[in-house]
Structure 1
C-alpha cells in the first residue's frame, strides 16, 4: 500500500512538471529512500535507459507483486458495508477501487458498484431513485444511514423506558397483593361464621336472643336499652365527660 501511495505521489509531479521519460525515471529514483534506494542502486546496473513504465514494472514486481494486486482486486469485488457506517464504507471503497479500475472506469459503474455494497435497509431507500452518479448515491446513502441510526436510538430509548416502568410496577405489586390477601382473609373470616337458626344472623357461640341476655354486657335480667338505667339503679355513678 505504501508503494502504491508513493507511485501516486510521483505521478502528481509529472502532471505539473513536463519531463522526458528518462527524466521521470531519474526523479522517481531520486525520491527512493532506505531499502528502496539500495534496491535501485543494485538494479540500475542491469537496466539502462528505462522508460517510466519499465521502471514502474520493476518497482511493482519488487514491492507490489501481482499476487498482492490480485488479492486487492478480490477484496474490492467482495467489499460490503457490513457493520460500518456509510462514511467508513466509502473510505474503504475509495482505497480499493484503484486496484480494479476496469470495474469503475465510468461514473455509472462506480455508482452501481458502491450501491450494491450498501446495507439492505439503505439500499431499499435509494435504489428506487435510480440515481445516475456516484456522488448522488453517496449523498443519499449518508442521509439514509443517519436517519436509520436516529430511529434506532429512539427505539432503544423507548425500550429502556418501558423496562424501567415495568420494573417499578413489579416492585409495587407485592404490597398490592398483600393488601388484597388481607382483605380477602378478613372477609373470608367474617363470612365463615354459621347462620344462627334462632335470630337468622351470622355469629359464633350461644345466641343472646335465646338466653335473653343483654347484647352489651352479656348479663340477664335486662335488655340492652335498659343497661345504662340498670347500672344507675344499682348506685353506680358513670363518669361524666366534659367537653372543653
Structure 2
C-alpha cells in the first residue's frame, strides 16, 4: 500500500476511533506505527506532531526508498551480468584448456575411447575390449587403428583433412 492509500484509509478509519486518537500528536504516533519499517526509520527521527507534515515527509521517504531499491536492483543485475561474463569466459578457457590437455595427453575428439601414448602410438580400443565388434587393423605407416587411408604422410588433419606442417600436425593429432 502506498503512503497516499494508507493515509486515505487511516483518515477513514479514524472517524470510528475518535476517543483513541484525541490529539494530533497521538494521531501522528499511530500513523507512524502503521508505516513500512524503512519509511518509519526516515520519518520517526523527525518526531513530527503535525499530521499534514508527517504525511508529506512520509511520501518523500517513500520516494527515497523506491529509488534506493531501484539502485540496489540495478547494481545486483550489473554484478550478475559481470559474473556471468566472467563465468562464460572462464568456462571457455577451461574448455580450451581441457581440450588442449586431452590432446596433449594423447586423446582427440575423434578417437572417443582410444588412447595414444609415447612416440610409437599404441592403441587400446574400448570397443574391442567389451564388445563383439571387430577392431580395425593396425596401420603399417603410423601404427594406429583408423578407417581409410593414413593421413600422416599427407600431413593432413585427422579431423578436417586440412594440410598442416608436420610439427603442428603432431601437436594436434597425438
The normalised TM-score by structure 1 is 0.40
Q: How does 1:1-244 map to 2 (within 5 A)?
A: 84-185=1-102, 188=105, 204=119
Unaligned stretches of 5+ in structure 1?
1-83, 194-203, 206-244
Q: Which has the larger radius of gyration?
A: 1
Distance in 2, matches of 1:138 and 1:89, equals 10
Distance in 1, matches of 2:3 and 2:101, equals 62
Secondary structure of 2:49 counterpart: coil
Secondary structure of 1:103 counterpart: coil
Instruction: Note the alpha carbon deviations across 1:36-69, whole angstroms, 9 max, x for none.
Output: xxxxxxxxxxxxxxxxxxxxxxxxxxxxxxxxxx
Secondary structure of 2:19 counterpart: helix
Unaligned stretches of 5+ in structure 2?
107-116, 121-174
The normalised TM-score by structure 2 is 0.54
User: Displacement of 1:187 after TM fit?
Assistant: 5.1
Distance in 1, matches of 2:76 and 2:3, equals 26
- For the aligned residue pairs, the C-alpha RMSD in angstroms reads 2.3
Distance in 2, matches of 1:118 and 1:143, equals 13
Higher helix share: 1
Distance in 2, matches of 1:118 and 1:178, equals 53
Distance in 1, matches of 2:38 and 2:75, equals 21
